[in-house]
Amino acid sequence: MKTRALGQFGRVLPVVFVLASLFVEAQEPPTPTWQPVRRNLYLSKDPDRAVPEVFVAARTVTTLRFELPCDPARTRMLGWEGRFEPLLVGGGSVVIVPLRELAPDDRFMLVVTLTDGTSLPFTVTAAKDVVDGQIDVFPDSESPEAVRVELRARQAENRSLRAENWRYRREETSVEHALATLLANNETALTPFRVEEKWRPPTPELDAEVSILLPKGRTARGRAAVVFQITNLTTGKPWTLQEARLMDAATLEKKPFALRASAASIAPGETGRIAIVMDLPPPESVKTGDMLVLELFGNAGLRQGYVELDLSALAARVRR
C-alpha cells in the first residue's frame, strides 16, 4: 500500500517540525536484503540424526566447506535443473547458487561425497531469517580441528555476551536512557524537558498522540525527545513496536538514540507510551535544511509513521 503525499494528510507544525500521520497506512517494508552468515555445522554419527538444512537465497552464493576434498563425480543435488546453477565442486568446497527464490516448501536433496568415501546428505531449502553464506562442515565433531573451531566460537560468543552485558549496564545508567524511562512512565515533570508541540493524527485503529519535547533549562540543552502515547482501538490483536530508526535525512546515516516503552506491547483497549531521547548537534554545526527522520515500524515490521525534525529551526527554538 502506498503512502500518500505529506500534503494530503500531514501537518506542518510552526517552524520546527513536519509530522506525517502515524498508523493510518502501513507501508510494506522493502524486500529484505540478505546478509549471508557463516556458521559451523557439527554432524553426529547417530544414524537417526536429522538431515541438516542449508538455507539459500536467489543469486546468493552459499559455500559448504569440508576438512577433506570432495569427489565431484559422486556429489550431486536432485532436481536442481532450472532452479540452480550447476554445482561447483572443487577441493573441499561445494558452491550452491539458486537462480531464483525458492518457495518455503521447496526442498532439494544434496549428497556430498568426500574422497574417503563418506557420503553426507543435506537438505537445501529457502532462507528464513538468514541465508547461509558459508557452512564449515565437520563430519566428526570430536576431531581435533572441530574441537579447536568450537573452542574459538565459544570464546568469541563469550566476548560478545560480555560486550552486550556491558552495553546494557551502560544504558541503564546513561542519562538519555534514564530520561526516556521517565518520559515513558509519564513522569515528564521529573525531566528537564518541556512539551513544545502536541499533535493527534487521525487514526482508524490506534489513538496516537505525538509530543515533541525540548529542553527547559541548561541540563538537557543538547537533547530533544519525542513521545508517542498510543491507545490500541482494535479488538483482536496487540500492537507491538518492532523497531525505531533515527537517520540523517540527506545521508541516511543512522543516529544513536535512547528508547523506552511503558510495555512490551499494547493490548486491545490499553494505552502505552514510547519515549525516544536523542542528542542534538551543536547549533553552530547545523545548516539550513539539515533534517533528522524518526521512523516507527510496528506489527509485521511495517512502517507505520515518521517524524521529521528541522535541526536549524530546532536549534533556534532551543536557544530562546
Kindly report, residue by residue over 207-259, the tens digit of the pLDDT: 888 898 988 865 456 889 999 998 888 877 888 888 899 999 888 899 989 99
Whether the predicted pLDDT of 4 surpasses 50: no
How distant, in Å, are the alpha carbons of 45, 99, 105, 126 from that of 102?
Answer: 30, 9, 8, 5
> Are 294 and 159 found together in one domain?
no
Q: What is the CATH number of the domain that holds 125?
A: 2.60.40
Indicate left, alpha or beta for 207 from its phi (over 0: left) and psi (-120 to 50: alpha): beta
Q: Are residues 199 and 273 in the same domain?
A: yes
Its pTM stands at: 0.53
pLDDT in tens, 60-91: 999 999 989 999 999 999 999 999 999 999 99
Domain ends where: 133, 149, 168?
Answer: 168
3-state SS assignment for residue 146: helix
- Kindly state whether residue 1 falls inside one of the protein's structural domains: no
Please give the residue range of the domain that contains residue 104: 37-168
Instruction: List Cβ neighbours of 295 (8 Å cut-off, separation of 6 or more).
Output: 244, 245, 246, 247, 303, 305, 306
Examine the fold and report which residue of 168, 193, 216 is the final residue of a domain before the chain moves on. Answer: 168
Least confident of 20-34, 128-142, 235-249: 20-34
Q: How many domains does the chain have?
A: 2
Q: Is residue 233 part of a domain?
A: yes
